């Protein structure tokens, strides 16, 4: 069976090379590091097994088959049969929902999900979003184990993480590493706020689980930087983004991206240091937009969104784009040195830039 391996060109010259849409983690944790469980029954050895044992059943292997439309040199099209393998994460055992990557199931006409106990289930595609590379599957609910959601906004660079996936179609495999950066963007076209990890790269880990040391799901393993592997730079979609996409797909069947109607930029480093917090500065406001109707003005600094902080312009852009059109959000804004709350009803249209 072939392995899905999608590559996308890096947009920025400083990150020259291809970005592959496949993922795993490596770099074993240091023995005896704080927080690693100790197995006294085996002579006091450090082990991640107590973290993994209850979570591994929630990570599944995915096999797909389908057809892909290809354009020939003379301008005609032809169909190509495809087969591929990837990974997924059960996030709702009662309803049978599985998160994976869009590129894992794109063009698939048949999707099979294999559980850690060996059962193979037919899966249906509930919906998919190419811009975030997230897809939602549904499987029969008998004897499923879900991986609980974590809190990506509390992550820090240097935190230890664990990945579970299906590299090379071999079956469930566990690897580990650390978070090497947060809030990465500019990797592919789309809505990006990647968790970056020091990753040893293997095809087939796409859609698998990135969990923290409490065993909670913090990301969906998605992409690597490099022409083919093992250079130590990999990316995962934070689970708050994946969950927002899933909620819209499950409730509405599609994604309707919101818009404020502003041009925004990152808060300068000097201002971040002075204020002690990051944010996004409004550079212009579109006439008749949701922002204008709510009273937002040029030079307002947005530092909060529905109770969460704002790391910068890209973070605000993503949060707005993943808010369903018609919903209202509470922004925390600094205006002339004073903090105030502004309620904005999200409008339909292209997202902020």
3-state secondary structure of 285: strand
Of the residues 87, 103, 212, 240, only one is catalytic, namely: 103
Q: What share of the chain is helix, strand, coil (3-state, %, to 5)?
A: 15, 40, 40
Q: Is 206 a catalytic residue?
A: yes
- On whether the CB atoms of residues 333 and 342 are closer than 8 A, the answer is yes
- On whether the CB atoms of residues 169 and 86 are closer than 8 A, the answer is no
- On whether the CB atoms of residues 144 and 168 are closer than 8 A, the answer is no
Of the residues 128, 176, 200, 206, only one is catalytic, namely: 206
Sign of CA dihedral 96, 320, 209, 12: positive
Of the residues 87, 102, 106, 133, only one is catalytic, namely: 133
Sequence-ordered alpha helix ranges (H) in 147-268 = 239-252
Q: Is 103 a catalytic residue?
A: yes
Q: Is 116 a catalytic residue?
A: no
The Cα 99–Cα 92 span in angstroms is 9
Task: Produce one character per residue of 72-92: b if its CB has 16 or more CB atoms within 10 Å, e if not.
Answer: eeeeeeeeeebebbbbbbbbb
Residue with tokens 């040893």: 200
Distances (CA, A) of 51 to 60, 90, 174: 17, 17, 11
| 15 burial level (CB within 10 Å; 0-12, 13-18, 19+) | middle
Q: Which residues are catalytic?
A: 103, 133, 206
């Amino acid at each position: 069976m072939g392995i899905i391996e999608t590559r996308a060109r890096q947009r920025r010259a400083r990150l020259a090379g291809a970005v592959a849409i496949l993922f795993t983690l490596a770099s074993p944790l240091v023995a005896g590091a704080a927080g690693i469980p100790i197995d006294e029954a085996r002579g006091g050895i450090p082990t991640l097994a107590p973290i993994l044992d209850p979570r591994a059943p929630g990570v599944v292997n995915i096999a797909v088959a389908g057809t892909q439309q290809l354009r020939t040199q003379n301008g005609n099209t032809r169909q190509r049969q495809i087969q591929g393998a990837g990974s997924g994460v059960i996030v709702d055992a009662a309803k049978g929902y599985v998160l994976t990557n869009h590129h894992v199931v794109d063009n698939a006409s048949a999707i099979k999900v294999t559980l850690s106990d060996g059962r193979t289930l037919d899966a249906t595609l509930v919906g998919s979003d190419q811009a975030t590379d997230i897809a939602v599957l549904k499987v029969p609910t008998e004897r499923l184990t879900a991986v609980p959601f974590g809190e990506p906004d509390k992550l820090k660079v240097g935190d230890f993480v664990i990945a579970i996936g299906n590299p090379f179609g071999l079956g469930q495999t566990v690897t580990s590493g650390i978070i090497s950066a947060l809030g990465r963007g500019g990797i592919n076209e789309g809505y990006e706020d990647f968790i970056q990890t020091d990753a040893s790269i293997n095809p087939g880990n796409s859609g698998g689980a990135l969990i923290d040391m409490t065993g909670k799901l913090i990301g969906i393993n998605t992409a690597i930087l490099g022409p083919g592997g093992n250079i130590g730079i990999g990316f995962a979609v934070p689970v708050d983004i994946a969950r927002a996409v899933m909620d819209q797909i499950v409730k509405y069947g599609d994604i309707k991206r919101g818009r404020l109607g502003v041009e925004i930029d990152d808060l300068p480093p000097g201002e971040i240091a002075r204020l002690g917090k990051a944010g996004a500065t409004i550079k212009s406001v579109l006439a008749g937009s949701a922002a204008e109707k709510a009273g937002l003005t040029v030079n307002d600094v947005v530092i909060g969104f529905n109770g969460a902080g704002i790391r910068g312009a890209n973070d605000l852009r993503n949060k707005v784009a993943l808010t369903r059109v018609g919903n209202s959000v509470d922004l925390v804004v600094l205006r002339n040195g004073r903090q105030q709350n502004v309620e904005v009803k999200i409008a339909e249209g292209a997202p902020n830039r």
